[in-house]
Amino acid sequence: MKKLGLVGGIGPESTVHYYKGIIQGFRERTGKDAYPLMIIDSLDLAEMYDLAAAKDWEIFSQRLIDSVKRLSAGGAEFAAMAANTAHIVFEKVQAESPLPLVSIVEETCKAAKKENFKKVIIFGTGFTMSSGLYTEKFLEYGIEAIVPEAEDQRAIHNIIFPNLEAGIVLPEEKEKILEIANRMIHQKGGEALVLGCTELPLIIKEEDLEVPILDTTQIHIEAILDYYMLG
């Protein structure tokens, strides 16, 4: 059985979500009474957030590279970073990684391609929306990815931090975020909404919108499971 190395801790809730989701999916897919082997390196979320806020991508990348190397030393045979934000420096990490990495962005693009979407909307943290994280990769797949205007980006970021991160969903914040989504669907022609942050599925559900949702975390977990199934 292959062994997964998971770069975790950014944040811990997301790490738990991956851990439980991978175990549940593995057991469902194999139908066997067995549990997937996994090693998880949990980083300091506060430090990583500060590095991202300061745009110190050099040290930010180094923390992730060191983590993947530790996971490799601990027996991992492939790896994934359990956070969208970490993928801003994915190419850098991959270049130094001793292990193949499963990218949440690449897998989301593949999922959108499969559904034949031509134009999708990206929601995520300010880091994710302003960095071109999804927009550039989607272009390679011939899909246009649009992000909210700066003011809407700030509003979404401030709904994720601190409330959503702490699991708190306020009705007025839900109304605000759906207003932004609906406006972009109608005015810009977005055919699907990409939830590019682990916490967003807490506040935006499939039934809230007229267009489909792409839950990046779930897509990432399924891709990791595909890797396990390769044996």
Would you give the DSSP letter of residue 193?
A: E
* Interface map 49-88 toward a copy of itself (x if CB under 8 A): ---------------------xx-xxx-------------
Question: What is the smallest separation between the CB atom of 151 and a copy of itself, expressed in angstroms?
Answer: 27
Quote the CA–CA distance of 109 and 143 in Å, as a whole number. 8
User: Is residue 113 close enough to count as binding a copy of itself by CB under 8 A?
Assistant: no
Choice between 46 and 168, CB closer to a copy of itself: 46
* Residues numbered 140-199 forming contacts with a copy of itself, rule: CB under 8 A: none
Contact call for residues 120 and 145 (beta carbons, < 8 A):
yes
Distance between CA 134 and CA 127 in Å, rounded? 11
Q: Which of 2, 16, 59, 98 binds a copy of itself (CB under 8 A)?
A: 16
Please, what is the angle between helix 216-229 and helix 12-30, to 10°? 40
Residues in CB range of 34: below 8 A, 6 or more apart: 1, 26, 27
Least Cβ distance, residue 15 to a copy of itself (angstroms):
7
Q: What residue ranges bind a copy of itself (CB under 8 A)? A: 9, 12, 15-16, 19-20, 23, 32-47, 70-71, 73-75
